Amino acid sequence: YPFSEQVDLTECDREPIHIPGSIQPHGFLLSVSEGDCVIQQISANTADVFGMPAAGILGQRLESLIGEKGADAVATALAATIEQNDPIYVGIVELTDIGCFDVIAHCVGKAKLVEFEPVDRSHPADFRSLYSLLGAFLKRVAHVSEVEALSDYAVRVLREVTGFGRVFLYVFDHNDDSQVIAETLEPSYPSYIGQRFPASDIPAQARKLYTTNPIRLIPNANYQPSPLVPPLDPVTNAPTDLSHAVLRAVSPVHVQYMKNMGTIASMSISLVIKGRLWGMISCHNATAKYLPFEVRTACEQLGQILALRIESIIEGKDYAYRLALRGKLVSLLAALSQGDEFVSSMGHASADLLNLMNATGAALVFEGRTILFGDTPDATEVTKLVEWLAVHKGAEAGEVFHTRALSRDYPAAERYRTCASGMLAVAISGNYQHYVIWFRPEVVRTVEWAGNPEHKAMLQKEATPLSPRKSFESWRQTVRGTSDPWQESEIETALEFRGAILGIVLARAEEMAALAD
């Protein structure tokens, strides 16, 4: 099986997963018109449920199919919600001679999508226990202030609530690769703790959808999708947007991925922080597994509480770090503005200079001199580096340029990557190639991937053009040439430092000019 990354990534990102034209058949779907509630589109399996042909259902009013009580409940529920695009629980509707259904409704454009999931009377959901579990979670969460401990607790509660065989939480990094940071499982399931999954496992449009739609359940990957009849919305003549439909059929590529992984049922819950998909909780089962809407809602709420708490922990840590940075910056600037020769003041304050950016080396390139502090490339190398910066990174380096993998941007840096894989440079003159540069050492990391990330997708010989990777065997990669990343707060502080230094240098120049007069 040859494989091609190009084909894989663009094709994955292009699949329109919000308009699959079909649903998962563990329930059925009706699309009814605004106002008079005429049924204008159904999932094909609706005909089987009611034992009549689709043509006999289409064109009927909702109340004649599901009764006046049911139709009223749908109208009342939708009227009561503010976010009409989010599915709302209507309640249980009993269909004579057919059975009881959980009914869930939401609006898409002018249509109302009404979804039905059979209620299993033999396993009534006990909502009191859900409330007390959520309550206990809320209480405990306030006292846990480490993301890992919190994640650990959350996956254990979720496994208890849902009974899935494996529940884990993974966090996306700046490349959208993910790493599993918490997991709980039954002994027969393989563990993924600590492992990485490449970004391409979840294509861009799916991430976008999961940011607005926080939970999805795939109870049985071995399903036959039930198509919508007619295929297009008869009013708009366009495919019906199923973004928020709880029964939305899943991308066939992803269904294959699940099977390859030995996961027949899956539920995933988005953790959205500041509008960005920060992480996800995945629940897996080796056999088919369904959860009623109310239980899913409790899981969704647990995810929201967790995301809020994680956001506040992250913000708290960032705030404390910014405060510390500010303290360091103020004392460094105080030291630099003393002595009357800028370069020698910098030399006296070199420990503070390094400490400010958590760096192990720094260089001051100023008025034709190159002064090195700590562990750095030699002066000749730094001179070449500055030339490269000025020429190739002109616009960016006008103020600040940073990288955590210098040799990737500038191959000559390969020679000194042990001391300078990370570089943050600020230009301290508008006119000259004057810089303060900080260096961070290489941190060799061993990354444990779940499966070789190069084999993202395989191009099968002819047949289906695309299929996800088959192996999730742990695969180790040694990453060289990168340093610890530069934090947003550090880059902002570097910019403030730059502003202050420009001020100091300018004041010095004016004093000199005054003396000369």
Contact positions toward ligand BLA, by CB under 6 A? 8, 12, 15, 17, 178, 192, 197, 200-203, 206, 216, 218, 250-251, 253-254, 257, 266, 268, 280, 282, 456-457, 466, 468
230 upstream amide cis, omega within 30 of 0: yes
Neighbours of 330 (CB within 10 A): 11
Instruction: Choose between 169 and 325: whose C-beta lies nearer to ligand BLA.
Output: 169
If the CB atoms of residues 144 and 181 are measured against ligand BLA, the closer one turns out to be 181
Smallest distance, ligand BLA to C-beta of residue 292, A = 17
The Cα–Cα gap between 58 and 230 comes to 9
CB 189, min distance to ligand BLA, A = 11
Residue with CB nearest ligand BLA?
Answer: 12
Of 473 and 510, which has the nearer Cβ to ligand BLA? 473
DSSP-based three-state secondary structure for 171: strand
CA 195 to chain CA centroid, nearest Å: 16
Are 456 and 197 in contact, with CB atoms under 8 Å apart?
no
CA within 13 Å, CB half, 122: 0
Minimal distance, residue 197 CB to ligand BLA, in Å? 4
Closer by beta carbon to ligand BLA, 428 or else 457: 457
Tell the smallest beta-carbon distance from residue 124 to ligand BLA (Å): 26
CA distance linking residue 78 with residue 84, whole number of Å: 6
What is the distance in angstroms between the CA of the first residue and the CA of the last residue of the chain? 79
204 versus 419: smaller Cβ distance to ligand BLA: 204
Nearer to ligand BLA, 393 or 470 (CB): 470
Distance from the Cα of residue 394 to its chain's centroid: 32
Q: Regarding beta strands 22-23 and 99-108, do their DSSP bridges make them parallel or antiparallel, or are they unpaired?
A: unpaired
Distance CA 437, CA 420 (A): 11
Q: Which is nearer to ligand BLA, 165 or 468 (CB)?
A: 468
Q: Scanning the structure block, which residue is given the tokens 């810089």?
A: 435
Q: For residue 51, what is the DSSP state?
A: T
Least Å distance, CB 195 to ligand BLA, is 8
357: which residues sit within 8 A by CB, 6+ positions away?
Answer: 424, 438, 486, 490, 493, 494
208's CB contacts (< 8 A; 6+ apart) are: none
The distance of closest approach from Cβ of residue 274 to ligand BLA in the complex, given in angstroms and rounded to an integer, is 21
Closer by beta carbon to ligand BLA, 280 or else 354 = 280
Structure tokens at 340: 């009357």
| Minimum distance of ligand BLA from residue 221's CB (angstroms) | 9
Residues 6+ apart with CB under 8 A from 434: 365, 366, 367, 427, 428
Count CA atoms closer than 13 A to 236's CA, side-chain side.
Answer: 16
- Work out the burial of residue 391: count CB atoms within 10 Å of its CB; fewer than 13 is exposed, 13-18 middle, 19 or more buried: exposed
Q: Provide, rounded to whole angstroms, the least separation between the CB of residue 88 and ligand BLA.
A: 21
Q: Which is nearer to ligand BLA, 152 or 352 (CB)?
A: 152
Q: What is the DSSP string of 346-361?
A: HHHTHHHHHHHTT-SE
Work out the burial of residue 247: count CB atoms within 10 Å of its CB; fewer than 13 is exposed, 13-18 middle, 19 or more buried: buried
Give the nearer residue to ligand BLA in terms of CB position, either 70 or 203.
203
- Residue 464 φ/ψ, nearest 5 degrees: -65, 135
Find out whether 401 and 469 touch, Cβ atoms under 8 Å. Answer: no
Shortest Å distance, C-beta 30 to ligand BLA = 21
Minimal distance in Å, beta carbon 469 to ligand BLA? 6
- Report, in Å, the least distance between residue 214 CB and ligand BLA: 11
In this complex, which beta carbon is closest to ligand BLA, that of residue 372 or of residue 457? 457
The residue count of the chain comes to 517
DSSP state of 404: S
Other Cβ atoms less than 10 A from the Cβ of 478: the count is 8
| Contact of 306 with 472, CB cutoff 8 Å | no
CB of 116 to ligand BLA, least distance (A): 21
Residue (156 or 470) nearer to ligand BLA, CB: 470
Give the nearer residue to ligand BLA in terms of CB position, either 104 or 250: 250
Q: Shortest gap between Cβ of 223 and ligand BLA (angstroms)?
A: 13
